Copies of this chain bind each other. A is one copy, B any other.
Amino acid sequence: MNIGIVGLGLMGGSLALDLKSYNLASKIVGYDRNQKHCQEALELGLVDEVITFDELKNCDIIFLAIPVEGIIEALQKLQDIHISTTIIDLGSTKEKIVATCPKSIRPNFVAAHPMAGTEYSGPLAALKGLYYDKIVVLCNTEDNALFHKERAEEIFVSIGMQIVYMDAREHDLHAAYISHLPHAISYALANSVLKQEDPKSILILAAGGFRDMSRLAKSSPTMWSDIFKQNKKNLLTSLDVFKEELQTVKKLIEEEKWEELKEWMQTATTLHKIL
């Protein structure tokens, strides 16, 4: 089975490593608009060959491991794909992507969101085992041909993932709280410190807590501005909810309601009983 990967960065590169190590493809070919990434992917042995976008159409399975706006464009260009070719995306948003997928290839296109990643990007960030023991969300699979759905499931299970099925709309709302809002917060925290008079004197005190909270702020702006664009409505809703919580804690501190503050914190600690 020939597998093609569009986008040879963290997600695509890591997938290539897993496909190889589990012997899931006879050949892995790759495409990336960035020439440097193509070169690196070859040097790192992520893919066997770098091909043109049009040559992808000879693959049995095509993975779209690119920013979410690019996924929408790529699907338009893949309208004439063979009936037996499976297309799987790895994007962090799903609603717009399934809504804009050309009808002719909707049975072929499996909308997936692997809940895995790091704050790094590019082929050098590729990590063997990135997907192992992680969740992958498959959305609106009722619109897929069974053949393509099962093919996608088989690959995800083979690389050690657990599948969760979800409606694309529900996925995007949940993803806003669990991933997109935390990214917005992390970028905002980083910018809050950078705006201070002497960030270096502040950062010398950074321990594990701050490092964890600002880690997501290393993430690729190209990738994340696309995600914020596609999940605009849900992200804005979640930002409002979060701002209200901030307003609560601010008011409790201003009004020196220490017992109520403690209760508010106590409620927050219960999160980890269900996480």
Residues of A within 8 A of B (CB): 115-118, 134-135, 137, 164, 170, 174-175, 177-179, 181-196, 199-219, 221-222, 224-225, 228-229, 232, 235-236, 238-239, 241-246, 248-250, 253-254, 256, 258, 261-272, 274-275
Contacts and interface: CB of A to CB of B under 8 A. Distances in A.
Contact of A195 (B193, B195, B241): B241
Given A186-B213, A253-B236, A275-B211, A137 B205 contact: yes
A183 B249 CA distance: 11
Copies in the complex: 2
A170 to B, nearest CB: 8
Contact of A207 (B134, B232, B241, B267): B134
A216 to B, nearest CB: 5
A202 B166 CA distance: 11
A245 B239 CA distance: 12
B265 A225 contact: yes
Contacts of A215: 209, 212
Contact of A188 (B216, B246, B262, B263): B246
Given A179-B210, A191-B267, A246-B246, 11 more contacts: A135-B205, A182-B210, A182-B213, A183-B209, A185-B213, A188-B249, A211-B275, A212-B216, A217-B265, A225-B262, A229-B256
